[in-house]
């Protein structure tokens, strides 16, 4: 059997030799203090499958001899001091599965030769000094499972070629200088499980493409400069377990949709940024842990983030409304289900339609409607019937919605008449001895609700606060009737008990939702 001698130099200036026979399948010289090596002899190792030269002190290396190693599957040059490298010799190594170049000093690298490596599964380029990198060649690497570019100096990165990497499971881009990142190409990467983009300079990012990544388990966007973020698209990522959006510039973020991710357990966000329609109890039932920081080792010591629960925020996604319906019905008070009814029009583009006074049976019937056009017609029809029956017109934007919809336009005169009747019959109840004004009846009118919502005034106010309300009502051409007993007031508009309770609940929460 032929013996092959591989000579290398050490950090101490010594020359050493390793002997291999021609049948060798693996060369493992990790942590040998190698500063230089001549790979010329490996061209004779035709059965070679792995070369590990990691954790040495290599500054340069010539890979040309490896071009003869057609069976090589693993090449690791990690943890060296390589400043440049020519990968062109690897274009013939079509069986190469793992290429490690991480923890070096590379400032640039040409990945074009990798376009010939259809078997490549792992590419690790993290912890270098790369300022730019072209990933176009990876479009041919359909077997790519793992891509790491973390810890570089990248300011821009085009992920377009990754749309062909349908087997991709993990991608790490953290600790760079990225200000913009387009996830659109990842919509075809249905196998993606883990994405790390922390410690960059992102001010915004669109997560909608990730909605197609059904196997996504972890998403780390912490320590960026995100000012807003919509995570609703993640509701379809049923395998999602962890989301880290801490240490950003987020004001508020709706976390309601995460309840629909069956395996979700860990959410990390900054204090006072989380907001949700759901109660704390519902999140606890699902064993979802919410913390204000991301611990190195997860334990019970990290603090709980201050989340605003029970908040009537607008749900923009119809699929989320459908998914929440059974949860709200089982675990939450009725006003929240009624609130989700009011979110339906906006979720399909009917902004300004107005409040819908329908029962839960009708609501669930609407949820079964799969055709958006048909659903739109049914919602408009329900509102028109409501008006014909002297129902509430609260929330209807006559100018921007009503006048542009033929069915609503037809009943605008009736709507105006109803709103006038409301103001003439309604009013407020004064309690002089307590310096308190009861605004509940005014809340049940279209004009009154609009005025009070814009001022975030609850169902009661002081006499001085009422002066501003009274002036605002007068600007609409009406006067507020002041009564001292509830029997003196009436509500000409037909309205269900649940609708009244819902409006008053929203008023209590001082929400501007009803504007």
DSSP string, 443-463: HTSHHHHHHHHHTT--SEE-H
180 close to 157: Cβ distance less than 8 angstroms:
no
| Dist. CA 45–CA 70, nearest whole Å | 10
| Dist. CA 292–CA 441, nearest whole Å | 41
pLDDT at 302 over 50: no
pLDDT at 493: 82
- For residue 275, the cross-strand partners are 254, 308
3-state secondary structure of 6: strand
500 close to 508: Cβ distance less than 8 angstroms:
no
- Structure-token match 């990691």, residue found: 54
pLDDT at 515 over 70: no
3-state secondary structure of 9: strand
Average pLDDT over residues 385-396: 95
208 close to 233: Cβ distance less than 8 angstroms:
yes
> How does residue 370 score in pLDDT terms, banded at 50, 70 and 90?
very high
pLDDT at 296 over 70: no
- Structure-token match 């050493």, residue found: 16
CA distances from 464 to 437, 456, 467, 470, 473 (A): 10, 15, 5, 10, 15
Average pLDDT over residues 131-140: 97
Q: Which of 80-84, 95-99, 504-508 has the lowest mean pLDDT?
A: 504-508
| Dist. CA 317–CA 336, nearest whole Å | 16
Average pLDDT over residues 6-31: 93
Sheet with 15-21: list strands edge to edge: 15-21, 3-10, 34-37
Ramachandran angles phi, psi of 439, nearest 5°: -100, 10
pLDDT at 292: 61
Count CB neighbours of 371 within 10 A. 9
% pLDDT > 70, the chain: 96
Cβ neighbours of residue 368 under 8 Å, at least 6 residues apart?
none
Average pLDDT over residues 125-139: 98
348 close to 322: Cβ distance less than 8 angstroms:
no
User: What share of residues in the chain are helix, strand, coil (percent, to 5)?
Assistant: 35, 15, 50
6 close to 32: Cβ distance less than 8 angstroms:
no
pLDDT at 510: 66
pLDDT at 294: 46
pLDDT at 311: 93
pLDDT at 240: 96
| Of 341, 374, 373, the residue nearest 359 (C-alpha) | 341
| Dist. CA 372–CA 318, nearest whole Å | 10
The domains of the chain are located at 333-515
**Strand 3-10 with 34-37, pairing:** antiparallel
Mean pLDDT, the chain, whole residue set: 92
Q: Angle at the Cα of 394 (from 312 to 330), degrees rounded to 5?
A: 35
Give the DSSP H/E element, type plus range, for residue 20: strand 15-21
Task: Give the residue with greater pLDDT, 200 vs 515.
Answer: 200
In 307-379, DSSP assigns E strands to none
pLDDT at 511: 47
217 close to 241: Cβ distance less than 8 angstroms:
yes
Q: For the chain, give me the number of helices (H) and strands (E)? A: 11, 21
| Dist. CA 137–CA 71, nearest whole Å | 21
| Dist. CA 508–CA 453, nearest whole Å | 11
Cβ neighbours of residue 91 under 8 Å, at least 6 residues apart?
67, 113, 115, 116, 117
Pair of tokens at residue 181:
């990142």
């Amino acid at each position: 059997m032929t013996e092959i001698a591989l000579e290398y130099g050490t950090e101490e200036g010594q020359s050493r030799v390793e002997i291999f026979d021609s049948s060798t399948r693996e060369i493992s010289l990790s942590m040998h203090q190698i500063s230089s090596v001549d790979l010329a002899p490996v061209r004779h190792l035709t059965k070679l499958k792995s070369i590990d030269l990691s954790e040495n002190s290599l500054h340069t290396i010539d890979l040309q001899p490896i071009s003869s190693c057609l069976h090589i599957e693993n090449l690791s040059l990690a943890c060296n001091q390589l400043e440049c490298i020519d990968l062109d010799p690897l274009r013939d190594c079509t069986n190469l599965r793992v290429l490690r170049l991480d923890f070096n000093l590379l400032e640039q690298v040409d990945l074009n030769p990798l376009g010939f490596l259809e078997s490549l599964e792992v590419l690790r380029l993290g912890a270098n000094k790369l300022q730019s990198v072209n990933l176009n060649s990876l479009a041919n690497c359909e077997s790519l499972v793992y891509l790491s570019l973390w810890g570089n100096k990248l300011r821009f990165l085009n992920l377009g070629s990754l749309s062909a990497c349908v087997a991709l499971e993990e991608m790490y881009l953290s600790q760079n200088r990225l200000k913009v990142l387009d996830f659109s190409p990842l919509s075809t990467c249905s196998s993606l499980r883990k994405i790390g983009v922390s410690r960059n300079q992102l001010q915004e990012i669109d997560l909608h493409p990730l909605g197609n990544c059904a196997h996504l388990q972890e998403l780390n966007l912490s320590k960026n400069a995100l000012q807003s973020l919509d995570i609703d698209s993640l509701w379809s990522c049923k395998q999602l377990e962890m989301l880290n959006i801490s240490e950003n510039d987020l004001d508020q973020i709706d976390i309601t949709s995460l309840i629909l991710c069956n395996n979700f357990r860990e959410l990390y966000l900054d204090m006072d940024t989380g907001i949700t329609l759901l109660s704390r109890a519902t999140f606890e039932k699902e064993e979802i842990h919410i913390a204000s920081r991301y611990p190195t080792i997860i334990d019970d010591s990290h603090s709980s983030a201050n989340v605003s629960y029970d908040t009537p925020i607008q749900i923009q996604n119809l699929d989320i409304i459908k998914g929440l319906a059974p949860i709200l019905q089982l675990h939450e008070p009725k006003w929240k289900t009624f609130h989700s009814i009011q979110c339906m029009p906006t979720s399909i583009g009917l902004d300004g339609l107005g409040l819908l006074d329908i029962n839960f049976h009708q609501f669930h019937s609407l949820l079964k409607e799969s055709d958006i056009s048909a659903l739109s017609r049914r919602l408009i029809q329900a509102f028109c019937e409501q008006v014909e029956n002297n129902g509430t017109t609260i929330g209807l934007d006559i100018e921007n919605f009503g006048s542009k919809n033929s069915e609503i336009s037809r009943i605008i005169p009736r709507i105006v008449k109803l709103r006038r009747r409301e103001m003439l019959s309604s009013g407020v109840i004064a309690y002089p001895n307590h310096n308190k004004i009861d605004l509940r009846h005014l809340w049940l009118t279209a004009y009154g609700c609009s005025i009070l919502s814009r001022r975030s005034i609850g169902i009661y106010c002081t006499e001085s606060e009422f002066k501003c309300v009274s002036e605002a009502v007068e600007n609409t051409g009406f006067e507020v009737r002041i009564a001292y007993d509830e029997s003196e007031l009436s509500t000409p508009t037909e309205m269900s008990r649940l609708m009244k309770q819902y409006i008053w609940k929203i008023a209590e929460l001082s929400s501007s939702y009803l504007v």
